[in-house]
């Protein structure tokens, strides 16, 4: 008899959501050497395949590990006071204009050491891991000096080294105008283009470059300059765009081949068409919509009709989305924006990975990395239907069980 090799793992009779759709029949899955070695209907499983496998159990739902493609989980301080002000009727934009909002987090983040930021972010990322995330994007954007932005990116990289999760980093130097550049926004964009991007690229700290294209942040022309600098350093781009108004930032980003445009509540048909042509992913952020009590819905029907892939992410941050639970976003995407549960789940697996330019992730198929979750539920739709921690039975990161082994 062949001896059981612990690195050949077998699940039987699982319902598989493969990143895009639910497989119609009960499946068997074998993981070996960090990859999905076999994914086949139960009826095709024979003794030759199961020989030497460690039995990982039967039944439940298997999905790719969740991919949270838009977060800001490295930050100093908190913004509960701003939350209270907003409940009293002060708008997010008004708070930003008064120098609060993002800039209050900038102040606290600048004051914090790398270690302090690391220790504060650790439980946030651990919560996401416990909820099934295996890939989490983390943006800078609360430092707004070369050193403070690099400090944030270093913390993000350290988090990925410390925990069993893949961290993808994004430089968001063009997030807000820092107070010392008041009235000199073009000069700040010079700093982002001429110093921040080259420094982050030289140290290998950024996997992509992002901007906030909005009246309270940067113009389309300024964001385009940031993209040109990113391109010059071989870095892919993405944009926070059309969140509070329609400036045309998404169409411009798409013309530059953006991986994604994120928020996009105010996106118009021309913007949708530009995304379709460019193959950009629309990142839907229901947590910010919910927290800011927005009323303008992203154009889900138009995106669906155009075939623009939709990702779903937490946007976890101290201001507009202090929500650190990826699975909650599946529910909110369905209840607030009427995504189907399958669309929401694809948005946090295959399409989330595409928004990061990592199309090999977020999929369950033979040969793919074995980042996966097994859930104690009967159908994938239950993940979006109920907001219920504790359903994660097993989680594998790169083939290694890190939960429920």
Ligand X SMILES: N=CN[C@@H](CCC(=O)O)C(=O)O
Minimum separation from the CB atom of position 288 to Zn ion (A): 7
**Cα pseudo-dihedral 176, 228, 276, 174, rounded to 10:** -10
* Range in contact with Zn ion (rule: CB under 5 A) among 192-200, 315-323, 343-351, 376-384: 315-323
Minimum separation from the CB atom of position 138 to Zn ion (A): 11
* Range in contact with Zn ion (rule: CB under 5 A) among 91-99, 225-233, 311-319, 339-347: 311-319
Which residues are paired to 11 by β-bridges?
29
- Dist CA 133 CA 125 (whole Å): 9
- Dist CA 109 CA 117 (whole Å): 8
Q: Is 260 annotated as a binding residue?
A: no
Minimum separation from the CB atom of position 3 to Zn ion (A): 50
322 token code pair: 């202090």
**358: partner contacted, choices ligand X, Zn ion, none (Cβ within 5-8 A by kind):** none
**287: partner contacted, choices Zn ion, ligand X, none (Cβ within 5-8 A by kind):** none
Minimum separation from the CB atom of position 321 to ligand X (A): 6
**222: partner contacted, choices ligand X, Zn ion, none (Cβ within 5-8 A by kind):** none
User: Given the complex with ligand X, which of 60 and 249 has the nearer CB atom?
Assistant: 249
- Dist CA 35 CA 23 (whole Å): 19
Residue ranges of E strands in 7-127: 8-16, 27-32, 35-41, 54-58, 61-64, 66-68
User: Given the complex with ligand X, which of 207 and 210 has the nearer CB atom?
Assistant: 210
- Dist CA 84 CA 95 (whole Å): 11
User: Given the complex with Zn ion, which of 175 and 395 has the nearer CB atom?
Assistant: 175
Minimum separation from the CB atom of position 188 to Zn ion (A): 19
Q: Is 351 annotated as a binding residue?
A: no
User: Given the complex with Zn ion, which of 141 and 369 has the nearer CB atom?
Assistant: 141
Q: Is 92 annotated as a binding residue?
A: no
Tell me how many helices (H) and strands (E) the chain has: 17, 16
Minimum separation from the CB atom of position 179 to ligand X (A): 15
- Dist CA 306 CA 94 (whole Å): 35
Total site size for Zn ion, rule CB under 5 A: 1
- Dist CA 385 CA 66 (whole Å): 16
Minimum separation from the CB atom of position 217 to ligand X (A): 7
**102: partner contacted, choices ligand X, Zn ion, none (Cβ within 5-8 A by kind):** ligand X
**106: partner contacted, choices Zn ion, ligand X, none (Cβ within 5-8 A by kind):** none
Could you write out the DSSP letters of every residue in 255-313? HTT-SEEEE-TT--HHHHHHHHHHT-EEEE-HHHHHHTT--PPP-HHHHHHHT--EEE-
How many other C-beta atoms are found inside a 10 Å radius of the C-beta of residue 110? 16
H/E run at residue 277: helix 269-278
**289: partner contacted, choices Zn ion, ligand X, none (Cβ within 5-8 A by kind):** none
The position carrying tokens 């155009």 is 306
Q: Are 238 and 261 in contact (CB under 8 A)?
A: yes
**337: partner contacted, choices ligand X, Zn ion, none (Cβ within 5-8 A by kind):** none
User: Given the complex with ligand X, which of 31 and 102 has the nearer CB atom?
Assistant: 102
**82: partner contacted, choices ligand X, Zn ion, none (Cβ within 5-8 A by kind):** none
Which residues are paired to 262 by β-bridges?
240, 283
> Contact residues for ligand X (CB under 6 A)?
72, 101-102, 105, 212, 240, 243, 288, 315, 317-321
User: Given the complex with ligand X, which of 315 and 371 has the nearer CB atom?
Assistant: 315
Distances from the Cα of 196 to the Cαs of 7, 173, 226, 279, in angstroms? 43, 7, 10, 28
Q: Are strands 208-213 and 237-241 parallel, antiparallel or unpaired?
A: parallel
Q: Is 70 annotated as a binding residue?
A: yes
How many other C-beta atoms are found inside a 10 Å radius of the C-beta of residue 301? 10
Q: Which residue is nearest to Zn ion (CB)?
A: 315
User: Given the complex with ligand X, which of 154 and 240 has the nearer CB atom?
Assistant: 240
What is the SS3 assignment for 371? coil
Distances from the Cα of 371 to the Cαs of 223, 264, 401, in angstroms? 34, 29, 9
Minimum separation from the CB atom of position 377 to ligand X (A): 30
Annotated binding site for 4-imidazolone-5-propanoate: 79, 142, 175, 243, 320
Annotated binding site for Fe(3+): 70, 72, 240, 315
Q: Which residues bind Zn ion (CB under 5 A)?
A: 315
Annotated binding site for N-formimidoyl-L-glutamate: 142, 317, 319
């Amino acid at each position: 008899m062949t001896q059981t090799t612990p690195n050949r793992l077998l699940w039987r009779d699982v319902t598989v959501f493969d990143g895009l759709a639910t497989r119609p029949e009960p499946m068997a899955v074998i993981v070996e050497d960090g990859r999905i070695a076999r994914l086949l209907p139960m009826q095709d499983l024979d003794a030759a395949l199961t020989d030497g496998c460690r039995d990982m159990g039967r039944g439940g739902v298997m999905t790719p590990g969740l991919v949270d493609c838009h977060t800001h989980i490295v930050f100093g301080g908190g913004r509960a006071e701003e939350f209270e002000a907003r409940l009293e009727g002060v708008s997010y934009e008004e708070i930003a204009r008064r120098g609060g909002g993002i800039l209050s987090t900038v102040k606290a983040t600048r004051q914090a050491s790398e270690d302090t930021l690391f220790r504060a972010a650790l439980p946030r990322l651990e919560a996401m891991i416990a909820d099934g995330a295996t890939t989490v994007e983390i943006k800078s954007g609360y430092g707004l000096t070369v050193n403070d932005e690099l400090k944030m990116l270093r913390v993000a990289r350290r988090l990925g080294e410390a925990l069993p999760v893949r961290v993808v980093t994004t430089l968001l130097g063009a997030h807000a105008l820092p107070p010392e550049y008041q009235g000199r926004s073009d000069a700040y964009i010079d700093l982002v283009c001429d110093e921040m991007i080259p420094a982050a690229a030289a140290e290998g700290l950024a996997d992509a470059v992002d901007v906030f294209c909005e009246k309270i942040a940067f113009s389309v022309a300024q964001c385009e300059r940031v993209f040109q600098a990113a391109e010059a350093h071989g870095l892919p781009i993405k944009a926070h765009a059309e969140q509070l108004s329609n400036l045309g930032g998404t169409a411009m980003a798409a013309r530059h081949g953006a991986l994604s445009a994120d928020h996009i509540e105010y996106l118009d048909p021309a913007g949708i068409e530009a995304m379709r042509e460019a193959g950009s992913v629309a990142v839907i952020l229901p947590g910010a919509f919910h927290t800011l009590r927005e009323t303008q819905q992203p154009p889900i029907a138009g995106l669906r009709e155009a075939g623009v892939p939709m990702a779903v992410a937490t946007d976890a941050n101290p201001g507009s989305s202090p929500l650190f639970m990826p699975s909650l976003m599946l529910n909110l995407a369905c209840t607030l924006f009427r995504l189907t549960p399958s669309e929401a789940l694809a948005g946090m697996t295959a399409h989330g990975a595409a928004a990061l330019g990592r199309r090999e992730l977020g999929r369950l198929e033979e040969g793919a990395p074995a980042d996966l979750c097994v859930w104690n539920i009967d159908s994938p739709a239950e993940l979006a239907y109920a907001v219920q921690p504790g359903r994660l039975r097993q989680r594998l990161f790169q083939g290694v069980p890190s939960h429920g082994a």
